[in-house]
Amino acid sequence: MSQYNCIIKKRNRHRCIEPECHASAVGKTNKCVAHGGGKRCNEPECKASAVGKTNKCVAHGGGKRCNEPDCQASAQGKTNKCVAHGGGKRCIELNCQASARGKTNKCVAHGGGKRCNELNCQTGAAGKTNKCVAHGGGKRCNEPDCQSSVQGKTNKCVAHGGGKRCIEPDCQAGAAGKTDRCKAHGGGKRCNEPDCHASAQGKTDKCKAHGGGKRCPNCIDWIDSRCGSSNYDGYCATCFKIIFPNDKRSKVVYRHTKEIMVRNIINKNFDGFIHDTTLYTGNCDCTHRRRIDHRKLIGNTILAIETDEFGHRGYDKKDEEIRYDDVYMIHSGKWIFIRFNPDINISKIDIQDKLNKLVETINECIYRIEKGANIELVEIKKLYC
């Protein structure tokens, strides 16, 4: 046998014997690592390959480990750190510290790794699938009829108990982001406004009250803009009803039930009150489009009734103060505000008794205005607040 044929025979003997596989057989086996050749992990029922000089696969602690204190993850590439601690190949985008994915030089967020094969989708494909999580890629929750993706190392989505849970006693909600608590208990990204502890919404750094999340395109430039809703094509419920009054969804839009109840009792007992209409200046620059629930001009005084439904939870207190300044700039005469809380779960007073007290207070204010007894530029009367 010639030397050339001997080399060919020797090479053939060290190739994986699996059909159409051209990888090298490993060690004394006839198969490559992918097909089960070489030293295997000694963990029960594990078919993965043992790494380096250890008897375990990467998942079970084999190979070189990250040298960060208390980190048990595998070191990546020629580094001594895991991906989370900066090991392996990094994304080449400026100021990005994330790990480069697959054979690319970028992280998933910057376009690296395998992409979702759905038309016009630029998101990274999840797991061993060809689709992103939103399009059904990755491992799915094993609850019957649930199509959500699994969280963490579990077989369930967040709604069904998967992923990391909130550490607060008796809380079953999922922990948000890299924190140990759910959003309700302070987890996840928080609003960056001073003294605000609410959760930041979406990709913004602010809560809903401070302008975070997706805003309604109709009132986005207003200082008291609202969040948009997918149920109303991105508009807030109020703007949707005004812009598209003939849409069938406008017929069932929630319109502040208690506020309507207050409107009805005011209209029954008084004339001339304007309900929930934007208050404009003569030359509006779109910064004073403030709404007042109920208002009436009496002489040089505006009597305004504000229905603080749900105690105005979620409203920004500082913005409420700015609101008084804004409306004063619109009408530089005198103001009397009646802040009325209709919720019976706060004061335990029957709603009809509250409404009777409101009517009585409005009558008193009208009497004082007509007699010129209201001296202050702005008076604020709180009923059950």
Mean pLDDT calculated for residue range 120-129: 84
3 by Cβ neighbours in 10 Å (0-12 / 13-18 / 19+) ranks as: exposed
- The pLDDT of residue 102 is 79
Tokens for 145, please give them.
């009829």
- pTM comes to 0.40
> Looking up tokens 């967020």, which residue turns up?
109
Q: How far is CA 113 from CA 50, 76, 104, 197, in A?
A: 25, 16, 6, 36
- The pLDDT of residue 9 is 47
| Spans of all domains in the chain | 1-63, 206-254, 257-383
Separation CA 352–CA 346 (nearest Å): 15
Beta pairing partners, 73: none
163 by Cβ neighbours in 10 Å (0-12 / 13-18 / 19+) ranks as: middle
Contact assessment for residue 191 and residue 197, using Cβ atoms and an 8 Å cutoff: yes
Mean pLDDT calculated for residue range 214-242: 80
Domain 257-383 fold: Trna Endonuclease; Chain: A, domain 1 (3.40.1350)
Range with lowest mean pLDDT among 65-69, 308-312, 332-336: 308-312
Q: State the pLDDT confidence band at 324, using cuts at 50, 70 and 90.
A: low
- The pLDDT of residue 258 is 74
Name the most confidently modeled range: 161-165, 184-188, 339-343, 360-364. Answer: 360-364
Mean pLDDT calculated for residue range 81-97: 85
Separation CA 291–CA 315 (nearest Å): 14
Tokens for 298, please give them.
């009496």
Q: Chain-wide mean pLDDT for the chain?
A: 80
Contact assessment for residue 328 and residue 315, using Cβ atoms and an 8 Å cutoff: no
- The pLDDT of residue 360 is 95
Task: State yes or no: pLDDT of 314 exceeds 70.
Answer: no
Burial pattern 272-293, b for ≥16 Cβ within 10 A else e, equals ebebbeebeeeeeeeebbbbbb
Task: State yes or no: pLDDT of 55 exceeds 70.
Answer: yes
Contact assessment for residue 359 and residue 265, using Cβ atoms and an 8 Å cutoff: yes
Tokens for 41, please give them.
């992990």
